[in-house]
A and B are shown apart, each in its own frame.
Chain A
């Protein structure tokens, strides 16, 4: 057969050579030359499609031929493409060939011709070509229409990075045309006067709606353009893998990579092809595809995943054994049984994956959110695992997942389930401490205990039992039950020793007891307090080791010492420990914390060892004391602040500063100058003893202004420089004057009060309305000392004969010296028989006391005594002076009267008709006889009743009155 074929080919070649030679000679076409060449175009794809047939090829003949195709652009001599197209030609077969032009076909004429030869692969250089066909011209411009401008290619799809040629065709050579790519002008190459082309290299993706390229006539409104759809390169699918969860379906997944950006114009597809079965499926989704596992036991699979769009095709392959791609489904029906205090049995089931597969299951046990146990279990169908080492009354979470034990591929998802172990009796005794106070002969014991931790409680603590045992009377037990969650209780005990047992109880049982002994005497007062310095990390405390049997130490403090409840805290320490660091989140700067260190004896009796106090951080004093000033003198004053508590300050007070401001600005010894923050200068006294809360500021100037401030200071600073208190020292003499004047005022007031209270007595004694001769001490005095013969006349002995009536005109303004001022009218009274008891001396007098004008003129100090100088009048303005004057006048009058001429003298009250205006007093003293208002009254014997020569001038009258009766 092969021999025949070679012979046939040789024959045909010989024949062809012969025919060629003949045709050259005879100018006839050779057999098998291309004929009926037709050219069509596809503008969308810029393709030229050639169609032809082979001349004289018999119907049954089949010949391997090569066709040489030449393509020229613009003119035939400008050949741009030559290609040999080899194919096997059958008789009467229409042959096709396509060529994609880089330049849009509309932009230039193209010419195509071809020739043929029998394809002899063994001797290609000895081909005998047929004649060229005639040039076929392709000119699309003629069919474009009559619009002035065209731009090509229309709506071309390319990948980013491609090279694209753009061209425009203008109908007028006069037009100046500019072309732009997204607004940027392009530089082109002119193909002919009406056509220019632009080569775009490495085009980029700009937007999903394509790149706008347009050309405009410079002096016209015409615009034409194209949209170049640039696609991102289709990526190869990544992470392509397939797996099965149930041996019925293979689930294949992959990462399709980035989008091409032209999903509408350039849709992409994914195809899954399995080579062993020859099956193919078009995936509906972009990133995954399901494949039905063949019912027959096909173990090996060879998949090809092909991603494809119009421009590109990408493929990836995987080959695998189905049993190696098993992704088990999550275990189910996870249960816990036989859950005890510390153990639990976990069971679960797995989905069947065939009887021949063993699964490896992983169990994780979670406690408090952390993995505390991990176990691996081989499982066929059902899994079981005993979890041990658990804590009582604790919630746990266990999760399980499985994978193929023989060929691990992927773990299944976790399946999680919770369970809780059962309760047990509390394992630890509660941590107990006490606070003892002595109240009215009793011990008030406050017991505190800390709640047990979850691990110690082994369940919910329901109550605490407190047993109080009287150590002196062992039979005296007292039981107290305190419900949880209380953490304290108060006991009132007498002054004996008691042992207290505290236990915590849950629903299962009782904890060990915590034992504490309370004695009647706390014995806390004998220990001195030491200062400690705290840091941010806490207080470092140390104490001396105690000789003897010590079971341990307890450090006690309050987290909130300023609160009434104070939040008592304590810390147990071992017997060999002599130092510790106390730290608490509650510690705050500027708060003083007090620590007490107790030793616990073997009898469980705590006794105080040491006291410590300190600050976690000292702060400057925030408050100044309230200062009381006293003992202010002209040279000093005293400051005291006794109610200032140094204990409640934010740091240890080391003393006080007393600032004193003065205008003088000089500081005396014992003080120093200080400049305050406001640049004012003052004197500073320093008190180094914080217990000294009094200070005497001395060396001051009288009548000077001072300002003072007392502020505490500590190691970290002093208190605020707030408002100064102002003080002014008094002058030097004021105190002395005050010492004199005050007693004087007091005495005067006392006299005035006495006078007021004894006014009646005084009146009666000194200036009675109607003088009572019996009560006159004057008389008695005179009588006793000078004239023992003087006696008091009895009124009954007086026989009245006349009554003198004195008419006095008021307000006449006349001087009392005028003779008409008073014309006394005398009534002469005759003694009545009834009232007149017998002959006796008759007294006739006038009483000016009841003269209205006279009574209103009490200020009149005019004493009508000729022997007295007028200068005395001014002093006799008060009643006392008046009394004095009266007494004096009285005495003088009596002195003037000879003892033998008169046996009894009366002194009348002052009754001046003139006003108190001293200026109106006459410069010359009035004559005694003219001062009619002032009369000397006296009792005289009847024989002397007639006015005497001297009596005429004195307007005196003698009136007879009954004893105790007054007549007006």
Chain B
């Protein structure tokens, strides 16, 4: 049991330290592909239910037939994958940042229902990961073109409110928490897929023309976004300092 806990906790701590390394250094990486790769890997890691949901289900006794089937994400709680893919990169990052902020608040509420110290320790590791991920989102936003422009409106996630209605009884709160965490993992999986698409467009652009490709990729993504707002044509060579990736 302890070994299993260690197996679960160790990667979280490592990733957490990885996430926190950049803010600890006080600066963001200006290497777009490297940062994108990190975000993708982090999202892939956070999508696994064994990092959070499985722990919650087990601690709350929801791992029973007839009960665990109701631990499904409520529609609208988190942005769908399609909705995320339609967003421009900037809006996507902002949405991601906002959603994860709400997830952090919700996790703080769920913490009250977790009595065991070792489960709490694991939950703390998850929160650390999310904070690090948010920091990387911030760094990525710095690399996007027009980072100094005014921010676009962020689509809200109605279901990702900090906590459900306080009048809910413990059982309903428990189910809602489970559904929320289920949605969280699904959301992170979608986020990982979006980042993967970013990476594909980056490699495509490198094959054709390192500069033009990035720009085209960026334009395509921006045009496909909801706001259809044209981004300034700033070419970015991978690894350049604080430039826009154009992707």
Contact = CB atoms under 8 A, between A and B. Distances in A.
B67 A214 contact: yes
Interface stretch (A220-228, A581-589, A824-832): A220-228
Contacts of B175: 223, 225
Kindly list the 4 A-B residue pairs having the minimum CB-CB distance in the complex, ordered from nearest. A183-B64, A225-B171, A227-B170, A154-B169
A209 interface: yes
B66 A209 contact: no
Contact of B60 (A154, A180, A209, A216): A209
A209 B64 contact: no
A210 B62 CA distance: 11
Interface residues of B, number: 20
B228 interface: no
Contacts of A212: 60-62, 64, 67, 171, 174
A137 interface: no
A211 B169 contact: no
A962 interface: no
A155 to B, nearest CB: 5
Interface of B: 59-62, 64-67, 70, 112-116, 169-172, 174-175
A625 B36 CA distance: 81
A208 interface: yes
B64 A227 contact: no
A127 B64 CA distance: 58
Nearest to A225: B171
Contacts of B172: 224-225
A456 B70 CA distance: 86
B61 A182 contact: yes
17 contacts: A151-B171, A208-B115, A208-B116, A209-B59, A209-B113, A210-B61, A212-B60, A212-B62, A212-B171, A214-B66, A216-B66, A223-B67, A223-B175, A224-B172, A226-B169, A226-B170, A227-B170
A155 B170 contact: yes
Contacts of B170: 154-155, 210, 226-227
A206 interface: yes
A263 B61 contact: no
Contacts of A226: 169-171
A183 B66 contact: yes
Nearest to B169: A154
Given A212-B60, A214-B67, 4 more contacts: A209-B113, A212-B61, A216-B66, A226-B171
A313 B70 CA distance: 39
A264 interface: yes
B169 A206 contact: no
A206 B61 contact: yes
Interface residues of A, number: 23
Nearest to A182: B64
A207 interface: yes
Contacts of B171: 151, 154, 212, 214, 224-227
Interface in A202-248: 206-212, 214, 216, 221, 223-227
Contact of A211 (B59, B61, B113): B61
Contacts of A223: 67, 70, 175
Interface string A174-216: 0000001011000000000000000000000011111110101
A375 to B, nearest CB: 49
Nearest to A222: B70
B116 to A, nearest CB: 7
Nearest to A154: B169
Nearest to B62: A212
Contacts of B116: 208
Contacts of B66: 180, 183, 214, 216
A264 B115 contact: yes
A216 B69 CA distance: 12
Given A207-B61, A210-B61, A227 B115 contact: no
A227 B113 CA distance: 12
Contacts of B64: 180, 182-183, 212
B78 to A, nearest CB: 20
A32 to B, nearest CB: 43
B71 to A, nearest CB: 10
Contacts of A207: 59, 61
A201 B171 CA distance: 21
A207 B119 CA distance: 14
A226 B64 CA distance: 15
Contacts of A221: 70
Contacts of B113: 209
Contacts of A263: 115
A183 B62 CA distance: 9
B51 to A, nearest CB: 20
A224 B169 CA distance: 10
A227 B169 contact: yes
